[in-house]
Structure 1
Amino acid sequence: MAAKLPIILIFSLLIVFASGNPTANPEIDSHSGLQPMNETVEWDFPTPFHLESELVQEQEEEEGLPRRSLYWKSPARKYYISYGALSANRVPCPPRSGRSYYTHNCFRARGPVHPYTRGCSAITRCRR
């Protein structure tokens, strides 16, 4: 332990003298991408992630791109996705009803079921 004390003392004094020299002026190539720092310790961090997401959101709003949301608007009211629909192992529409997951109010929907249009073959037995 006694042998380590002088080494630690010398090392700490070296750090104090090296960091406490205000006349040190390192030369940095302007094309290297490195930026000199002043005497106080400052870290040059890129923009935080949460600010980047806000910037992306603002850019999309300016461009008029629709954003995904957990609700959609109707002229009369807003519809929200319930917590039950978001929970695991739940089928949002009755099984074998033929209604698409994306059919609005699939329990109350009436009429023929045409969730999407696709090509027909003997294997799929689709309705014509």
Structure 2
Amino acid sequence: MASSLLAALLSFSTIAFLLSAITSQIDYSLGFQIQSTEALEWALEALPPDDELIGGEATGRRALLQCNSYISYGVLSANRIPCPPRSGRSYYTHNCYSAEGPVHPYSRSCSRITHCRR
């Protein structure tokens, strides 16, 4: 009777120890560890990047809002035909099919870096 009680007490203490170890330390696959359950209340920015966890497509939209480059509304208009690829004209050229003049209207002079090798 005493040996079965001792075995039950030993197994109970082992299970309790394992559960406390699991809740106090979580090991992520990226290699960092959280030492307590209070650390689980971190902001979402502190967690490893996971689109499903953070919010999926909303993350991409926020990233676009933080960019410094913009697409003009003229480019996005429905009645505008973009210039064909490899025509030499910029995508932003207005009426590229009727545009006249050189394709690259600028010229660069020689510099120390290029040594006029173009």
TM-score by length of 2: 0.34
Higher helix share: 2
- Which structure is higher in RCO with an 8 Å CA cutoff and minimum separation 6? 2
